[in-house]
Amino acid sequence: AQSVTQLDSHVSVSEGTPVLLRCNYSSSYSPSLFWYVQHPNKGLQLLLKYTSAATLVKGINGFEAEFKKSETSFHLTKPSAHMSDAAEYFCVVSESGNQFYFGTGTSLTVIP
């Protein structure tokens, strides 16, 4: 069975400092993993995806994530937070079966 755990429901960082949003997953096979961002009252936008190629994945707006199979983790990072990064972030796992499983989300606050 698949599941996703986002370890922090809320993260606060100061502008210009690094961002770390943590995601652990469980999957029986080789999963596809995604991070999405949702700004207030908007739909979800894809940040990056892992689909069994390079384990370090670069996404939009300076975000990246590293797939660590031994730790079943897919943490999202950014070297320097910007005010516009304040949003809700979702980690998503999928494997064969045509279903995507969402974490409960991490709300990122950026302090000026």
Partner 1 sequence: NAGVTQTPKFQVLKTGQSMTLQCAQDMNHEYMSWYRQDPGMGLRLIHYSVGAGITDQGEVPNGYNVSRSTTEDFPLRLLSAAPSQTSVYFCASSYAGFNSPLHFGNGTRLTVT
Report the residue from 25, 34, 63, 74 that binds partner 1 according to the rule CB under 8 A: 34
x/- contact string, 37-76, with partner 1 (CB under 8 A)? ----xxxxxx--x-x-------------------------
The residue count for binding partner 1 (CB under 8 A) is 26
Residue among 8, 71, 12, 6 at smallest CA distance from 34: 6
Name every residue whose Cβ is closer than 8 Å to that of residue 76 and which is 6 or more positions away in sequence: 19, 20, 21, 23, 35, 47, 48, 63, 64, 65, 89, 91
Binding site for partner 1 (CB under 8 A): 4, 9, 32, 34, 36, 41-46, 49, 51, 90, 92, 94-100, 102-105
